[in-house]
């Protein structure tokens, strides 16, 4: 079955005259899957509709924030009520502390939190804070982990960078990444070697505790604990980038799931209920280095925007009230989806492995277990592109990149899972 995309193609052509590539984030161009990008105009529950009237079961969920599904009534009502009082003030509002209280309660590693407008701002600010706290220059990140597009972190960054086949980015001088050490993920020995070589010089280790930007890649048993032990021993700060995993893999994020207490945590996505937001937090003694209390400067006109705060309060409130039911449901449904699709791949004789942590998942077109960027890079990306296109024709929307995680919401039903597995069975005959 082929879809009519006449309106979407016309909209893309118009956008290309006004916006680079016609998109405001590269993966939306669908170049990695070799197809035309549908233009979405509406979402409800587990579904989205494009400008041509095609309906899709959505496993992107705005790249993770919509854990409650599209157009959640409680979140929408909170946004409407907040908007009636004004969209932005550039001044403090009561809801900032209300959302902060929910975050602090959920994540024991955070005593104080600062809100920003994006995950990029959050990770950039956390790195600056770590350098100030330790008075050191070097930072460790991991190949395939994406921490936003700030210069110092755009090194072997996975995700959209991997999709486009770019090792870093033009416009980033070598001097800007001189103090960034990019190591293989899930390799403790590499971390030990880096700390031995740069003794007393590494300010922080920043990691996606569950990687989502080379596809979903979980930590090996003991890996995160080893990072915690090494950084504590060496006087460096451990930063968990939980922009994606926060309130996703568990209510308390990966920190709760793996029982690891980082020094700093960055958040985003779910804490804004689908509106632009980011945050970074940690112990009061570290966070009080941030201006106006301390010497680390960071500011933002729209930080703590009242609409995002209201949406976040509504989303986290609903998750908190139903946490046991919701996270059990998400895990069960995601397990059925991944098991069903991988079983159909095996029946079809197609090389596919899958990773899943809670409601994050990725289908990898390789016969290797994906544990790091090197193994992720063995994927047959043209085959994934054909699979992706066939699923779109069948009304199923997966992330348009082999190197991105997919997400379920509590709005997905058993029927959605059944239909997706059936669509995958047909799609796998076409790859």
Domain locations along the chain: 6-71+322-427, 73-321
- Reported as a single tens digit per residue, the pLDDT across 128-173 is 999 999 999 999 999 989 888 776 676 654 444 333 333 456 666 6
Q: State the pLDDT at residue 1.
A: 53
Length, in residues, of the chain: 431
pLDDT (tens digit, 9 = 90+) per residue, 303-328? 999 999 999 999 999 999 999 999 99
User: Is 258 annotated as catalytic?
Assistant: no
Give the model's pLDDT for residue 161: 39
Residue 216 gets which letter from DSSP? -
Per-residue pLDDT, 164: 36
By the 8 A CB rule, do 385 and 35 touch? yes
Q: What is the pLDDT of residue 179?
A: 86
Distance of CA 63 to the CA centre of its chain: 6
Residues of the chain with pLDDT under 50: 157-167
Architecture in CATH of 73-321? 3-Layer(aba) Sandwich (3.40)
The secondary structure of 40-57 as a DSSP string is EEEEEBTEEEETTS-EEE
Q: Tell me what pLDDT residue 315 has.
A: 98
> Dihedral through CA 333, CA 340, CA 216, CA 33, nearest 10?
-120
- Euclidean distance between CA atoms 28 and 176, whole angstroms: 28
Which CATH number does 6-71+322-427 carry? 3.90.1150.10
Residues 146, 185, 258, 327: which is the catalytic one? 146
What's the rounded Cα separation, in Å, for the pair 330 and 314?
19
Is residue 59 annotated as part of the catalytic site, yes or no?
no
Set 112, 141, 156, 269: catalytic member: 269
Structure tokens at 109: 């590693």
* DSSP labels, 296-352: B----TTTT-HHHHHHHHHHHHHHHHTHHHHHHHHHHHHHHHHHHHHHHHHHHT---
Judge whether 146 counts as a catalytic residue: yes
Supply the pLDDT for residue 156.
Answer: 56
Q: Model-level pTM?
A: 0.94
Query: Which residue is catalytic, options 58, 187, 241, 372?
Result: 241
- Estimate to the nearest angstrom the gap between the alpha carbon of 252 and the chain centroid: 15
């Amino acid at each position: 079955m082929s879809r009519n995309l006449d309106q979407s193609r016309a909209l893309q052509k118009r956008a290309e005259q006004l916006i680079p590539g016609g998109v405001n984030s590269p993966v939306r161009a669908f170049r990695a899957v070799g197809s035309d990008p549908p233009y979405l105009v509406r979402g409800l529950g587990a579904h989205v509709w494009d400008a041509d009237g095609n309906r899709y079961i959505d496993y992107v969920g705005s790249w993770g924030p919509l854990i409650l599904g599209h157009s959640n009534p409680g979140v929408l009502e909170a946004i409407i009520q907040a908007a009636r009082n004004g969209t932005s003030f550039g001044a403090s509002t009561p809801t900032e502390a209300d959302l902060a209280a929910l975050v602090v309660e959920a994540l024991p590693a955070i005593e104080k939190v600062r809100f920003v407008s994006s995950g990029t701002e959050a990770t950039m600010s956390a790195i600056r804070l770590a350098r100030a706290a330790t008075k050191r220059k070097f930072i460790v990140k991991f190949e395939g982990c994406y921490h936003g597009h700030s210069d110092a972190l755009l090194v072997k960054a996975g995700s959209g960078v991997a999709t486009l086949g770019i090792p870093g980015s033009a416009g980033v001088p070598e001097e800007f990444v001189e103090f960034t050490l990019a190591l293989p993920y899930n390799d403790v020995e590499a971390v030990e070697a880096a700390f031995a070589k740069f003794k007393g010089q590494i300010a922080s280790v920043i990691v996606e505790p569950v990687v989502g930007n080379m596809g979903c890649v979980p930590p090996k048993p003991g890996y995160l604990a080893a990072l915690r032990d090494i950084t504590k021993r060496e006087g460096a700060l451990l930063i968990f980038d939980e922009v994606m995993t926060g309130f996703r893999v568990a209510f308390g994020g990966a920190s709760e799931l793996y029982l690891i207490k980082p020094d700093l945590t960055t958040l985003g996505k779910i804490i804004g209920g689908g509106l632009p937001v980011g945050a970074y937090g940690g112990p009061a003694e570290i966070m009080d280095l941030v201006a106006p209390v301390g010497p680390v400067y960071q500011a933002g006109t729209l930080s703590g925007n009242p609409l995002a705060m209201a949406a976040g309060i509504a989303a986290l409130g609903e998750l908190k009230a139903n946490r046991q039911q919701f996270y059990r449901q998400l895990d069960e449904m995601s397990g059925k989806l991944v098991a069903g699709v991988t079983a159909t791949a095996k029946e079809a004789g197609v090389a596919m492995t899958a990773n899943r942590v809670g409601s994050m998942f990725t289908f990898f077109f390789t016969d290797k277990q994906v544990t790091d960027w090197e193994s992720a890079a063995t994927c047959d990306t043209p085959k994934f592109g054909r699979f992706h296109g066939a699923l779109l024709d069948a009304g199923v929307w997966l992330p348009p990149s082999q190197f991105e995680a997919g997400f379920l919401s509590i709005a997905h039903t058993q029927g959605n899972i059944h239909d997706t597995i059936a669509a995958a069975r047909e799609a796998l005959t076409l790859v």
